[in-house]
């Protein structure tokens, strides 16, 4: 850790890994000591002992990592499931600031507003599980990459063939996807804020649409700063790493607000 650069911890979405941030991390490094975590039960992360795994288990594990690193409070940025985890870590007093990019967990009681997105994610998971032998060749095609990632990215072809293949391997190596997609946990209201929180919603999010889940997020965390990121889908790190980096650095105070 560089003592002159405050720590910033990045948290990825479901079925992904720390590799989800690889195009963003270099854009943050001049301002922060960046740590990208891989969540419990995900490829490269520790195995989940309790099953079915719950979001709280992933948050517990992330908090243990912070303890092991000697980090009491850090800036946090997370996408989807990672955004949810960042909010819960803030609730526990571990955050200097939070930038939650299209965070999961904002749906009505009984999971209304969750079903459509879960169906799309399950479809993507099922297709990836059916085609592992084809993926090394198929991912060479920009058209295939765009189609394979169409539910989470507008410009899936932006990923290189190697990056797309690693993303598929991350999905296949995630052992807790079915657990997390099969439960009805949600983010409870958070008011007052324990730290500055930015809710940055992807304008073209087809998994957690801004007019449904973004609306609920604003109701649950009314004091958070809310903004809409233009031209990007559910995983904005794929579509526009520079926009994501700018949004995060603005939330941490490293860059002034425009």
Q: What is the pLDDT of residue 184?
A: 83
Task: Kindly report, residue by residue over 226-254, the tens digit of the pLDDT.
Answer: 999 999 999 999 999 999 999 999 999 99
| Domain parsing of the chain, residue ranges | 7-252
> Mean pLDDT across the chain, nearest whole number?
95
Calculate mean pLDDT across residues 116-141: 93
The second-level CATH assignment, the architecture, of 7-252 is 3-Layer(aba) Sandwich (3.40)
pLDDT score of 189 more than 60: yes
Q: What does the pLDDT average to over 68-92?
A: 98
Instruction: Considering only CA atoms, give the Rg of the chain.
Output: 17
pLDDT tens-digit series, residues 111-126: 555 678 889 999 999 9
Q: Residue 90's pLDDT is what?
A: 98
| Cis amide leading into 192 (omega within 30) | yes
pLDDT of 54 > 80? The answer is yes
For the stretch 214-217, contacts whose Cβ atoms lie closer than 8 Å and that sit 24 or more positions apart, written own/partner, are: 214/106, 216/106, 216/107, 216/108, 216/113, 217/103, 217/106, 217/187
Band of residue 4 on the pLDDT scale cut at 50, 70, 90: confident
pTM score: 0.95
More confident call, 201 vs 185: 201
């Amino acid at each position: 850790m560089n003592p002159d650069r405050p720590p910033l911890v990045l948290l990825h979405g479901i079925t992904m890994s720390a590799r989800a941030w690889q195009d963003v991390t270099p854009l943050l490094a001049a301002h922060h000591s960046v740590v990208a975590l891989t969540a419990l039960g995900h490829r490269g992360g520790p195995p989940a002992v309790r099953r079915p795994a719950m979001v709280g288990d992933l948050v517990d594990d992330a908090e243990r990592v912070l303890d092991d690193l000697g980090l009491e409070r850090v800036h946090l940025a997370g996408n989807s499931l990672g955004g949810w985890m960042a909010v819960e870590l803030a609730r526990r007093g571990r955050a200097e600031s939070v930038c939650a990019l299209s965070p999961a967990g904002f749906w009505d009681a009984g999971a209304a507003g969750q079903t459509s997105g879960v169906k799309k994610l399950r479809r993507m998971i099922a297709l990836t599980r059916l085609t592992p032998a084809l993926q090394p060749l198929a991912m060479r095609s920009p058209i295939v990459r765009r189609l394979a990632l169409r539910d989470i990215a507008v410009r899936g072809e932006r990923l290189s063939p190697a990056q797309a293949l690693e993303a598929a391997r991350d999905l296949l190596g995630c052992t807790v996807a079915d657990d997390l997609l099969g439960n009805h946990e949600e983010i409870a209201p958070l008011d007052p804020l324990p730290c500055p929180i930015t809710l940055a919603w992807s304008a073209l999010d087809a998994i957690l649409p801004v007019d449904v889940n973004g609306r609920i997020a604003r109701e649950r965390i009314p004091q958070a700063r809310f903004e809409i990121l233009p031209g990007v889908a559910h995983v904005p790190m794929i579509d526009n790493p520079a926009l994501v980096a700018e949004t995060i650095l603005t939330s941490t105070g490293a860059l002034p607000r425009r």
